[in-house]
Amino acid sequence: MTSPATTLDRGEFKNEPVRDFSKPENRAAMEQTLKKVAAELGREYPLIIGGEKIFTKEKTQSTNPSHPNQVVGIFQKGTVELANQAIEAADKAFAHWKIVPAAKRVWYCFEVAEILRRRRFEMNAWLCYETGKTWTEADADTAELIDFCEFYAREMLRLAGPQKLVPNAGEKNHLVYIPLGVGVVIPPWNFAAAIMGGMTLAAIVTGNTVVVKPSSDSPTVAAFFMEILNEAGVPKGVVNFFTGPGSTAGEALVSHPKTRFIAFTGSMQAGLRIGEIAAKKQPGQIWIKRTVLEMGGKDAIIVDEEADLDSAAEGVAQSAFGYQGQKCSACSRAIVSEKIYDKFIEKLIPRVKAMKVGPAEDGNNFMGPVINKSAMKTILEYIEAGKKEGRLLTGGGAKGTDGYFIEPTVIADIKPNAKIAQEEIFGPVLAVMPAKDFDHALEIANGTEYGLTGAVYSKNPKKLERATEEFHVGNLYLNRKCTGAKVGVHPFGGFNMSGTDSKAGGQDYLLLFLQAKVIAENLAAK
């Protein structure tokens, strides 16, 4: 049921606070909801195309990375034919949705935020079970999605209002932002709620319709979000839900001539492939497809000799191992001044050794599993390569027998051109690299093909100024960790092979889903 209490007048945007799980009432709520959601594991979910539920012969399933034998959800294996049908359904819905007043679309966004607040622990539980997020990480993901609802809704109200133009005598001129058309939303699994929902809401609040193709590792979180959109009353066909392999069904969605834009977040390889397919004009296609492609990272934290080493060690540990190093913003390189190299390591290692690794649903663990078997294999291969390239300080292998657990791993004395210093590992592996001086540290930091996040710990304002000028990343942090960007506060997106710098959660973001139409009227003709 929709709540009539949801109004458009909600005051200034404020970030949704994250839950403190040291409080008994929050722990109890999370434990209870985990039990409730456990009873719903293993359900089957249809494709939703134009509001119709569609089942296919072939199925796929998503499993719990903490307990791989546990099935989280069973899904339809969408075919190319059904992908085409989904785009047609979104195109049909666009004819109606594009004329729904912006205020009404904004209202839906606020309503989704309200429902998410009410069902927050359920979303947290699905994130724990399906993506191996610990309680705090899951709650931060849900809170970020609530922020996207609240932030983009307000942004749309701003963009729907009068836009400033230079006056021209004898003419009445105005500029309006109109939607693009049908979009394909392709999110990753690592912020299965926030990124999936954020890209979807940005697209629909601006008047577009979409086909959402969630990651094959996190379709249940997306199915739960669909349930919330339905509860909020979002009309049929505005958001279509399509599961299936990215390499076939995903490509069919991207290449369809009626697809007007693609909002993608994921690996560099998939992003580049999507960019390539989208650039090719298909028979019957009458526009250049717009692509928002947010991709990987090889993020670094520079620790200068003039830094507070306790705070730097804490920041590096948190950034490297929060959510098992599976954040695009995760620190995978600590570039440390030779002058304090050993001292920094002494402070870092006990922090890493103290991190508890285990099933994500156990609220006492700091780290859960990595996402799937193939990720585990790749990460362990990187660790083996790293052991040859440097000196293993802690971790170095799998942990336990059940679940995809990997020890938080730190490898020191890594050279700038080493494999583990250049390639995105996307797991709990930190390379520690010595730097001769600050120039050298900046050179190493900028020496990969990526440019997503970075941080510098130093008390020297001149060095911080230099980093501001020369550290070439989309999100630079000074004397703090390089993860944990907040909606509205730290608009997020990277340079170089990290993507198109779309700055999700910022004032420019919705413009990527809109086109501007200018109407100039000659008043003398009246």
Question: Considering the complex, what minimum distance in angstroms separates the CB of residue 118 from ligand NDP?
Answer: 27
What is the 3 state secondary structure string of 303-321? ECCCCCHHHHHHHHHHHHH
149, 328, 331, 482: the catalytic one is: 328
Tokens of 453: 């996040």
3-class secondary-structure state, position 417? coil
d(CA 321, CA 351): 11
149 is catalytic: no
User: Which one-letter amino acid corresponds to residue 210?
Assistant: V
Comparison of 85 and 215: residue with beta carbon closer to ligand NDP: 215
Q: State the nearest-atom distance from the C-beta of 30 to ligand NDP, in Å.
A: 24
Asked if residue 410 lies in contact with residue 425, where contact means CB atoms within 8 angstroms, the answer is: no
109 is catalytic: no
- Long-range own/partner contacts, residues 336-339 (CB < 8 A, 24 or more apart): 336/302, 336/303, 336/432, 336/433, 336/434, 336/435, 337/303, 337/304, 337/305, 337/434, 337/435, 337/437, 337/438, 337/441, 338/434, 338/435, 338/436, 339/305
| Min dist. Cβ of residue 269 to ligand NDP (A) | 6
How far is the CA of 522 from the CAs of 168, 172, 177, in angstroms? 10, 7, 21
Least gap, CB of 138 to ligand NDP (angstroms) = 16
Closest CB 111 distance from ligand NDP, rounded Å: 26
Strand-strand pairing, 331-337 and 429-435? parallel
Please, which residue, 56 or 515, has the CB nearer to ligand NDP? 56
| Partner residues linked to 350 by β-bridges | none
Name the catalytic one among 130, 294, 361, 424: 294
Residue with Cβ nearer ligand NDP (200 or 215): 215
Distance, CA of 260 to CA of 27 (rounded, Å)? 45
Residue whose CB is less far from ligand NDP, 90 or 435 = 90
For residues 235 and 5, is the Cβ–Cβ distance under 8 A?
no
**Inter-residue contact 150 to 228 (CB < 8 Å):** no
Which residues contact residue 14 at a Cβ distance below 8 angstroms, ignoring those fewer than 6 apart?
150
Residue 415: CB partners within 8 Å, gap ≥ 6? 389, 390, 421, 433
Nearer to ligand NDP, 358 or 491 (CB): 491
Nearest-approach distance from CB 479 to ligand NDP, in angstroms: 23
CA dihedral 466, 470, 472, 476 (to 10 degrees): 10
By beta-carbon distance, which residue lies closest to ligand NDP? 246
Rounded-to-integer distance, Cα 257 and Cα 314, Å: 50
Reading the block at residue 101, the tokens are 């007043």
275 three-state secondary structure = helix
Nearest approach in angstroms of CB 475 to ligand NDP is 9
Which residues are near ligand NDP by CB under 6 A?
186-191, 195, 213, 215-217, 245-247, 250-251, 254, 265-267, 270, 273-274, 294-297, 328, 424, 426, 452, 492, 494, 498-499
> Min. distance of Cβ 360 from ligand NDP in angstroms?
18
Q: 216 vs 318, which CB is nearer to ligand NDP? A: 216
Cβ proximity to ligand NDP, 102 vs 278, nearer residue: 278
Pairing state between β 453-457 and 299-303:
parallel
Q: For residues 6 and 79, which CB has a smaller minimum distance to ligand NDP in the complex? A: 79
- Residues with catalytic annotation? 294, 328
